[in-house]
Amino acid sequence: MEDLGKALILVGIVLAIIGGAIFLISKIPGAGQLPGDIAIQRDGFSCFLPLVSSIILSIVLTIVLNLLLRVLNR
pLDDT of residue 13: 95
The answer to whether the beta carbons of residues 36 and 52 sit under 8 Å apart is yes
pLDDT of residue 33: 81
Number of domains forming the structure of the chain: 2
Q: Within this chain, do residues 23 and 37 fall inside the same structural domain, yes or no?
A: no
Write out the residue range of the structural domain in which residue 66 sits: 32-74
Per-residue pLDDT of the chain (74 residues; tens, 9 = 90+): 888 999 999 999 999 998 998 888 888 887 778 888 899 999 999 999 989 888 988 999 899 999 989 988 87
Q: For residue 61, report the phi and psi dihedrals to the nearest 5 degrees.
A: -65, -35
pLDDT of residue 10: 92
The C-alpha atoms of residue 23 and residue 20 are separated, in whole angstroms, by: 5
Distances (CA, A) of 45 to 30, 37, 38, 39, 40: 22, 17, 14, 11, 8
pLDDT of residue 5: 92
Q: Within this chain, do residues 37 and 63 fall inside the same structural domain, yes or no?
A: yes
pLDDT of residue 22: 83
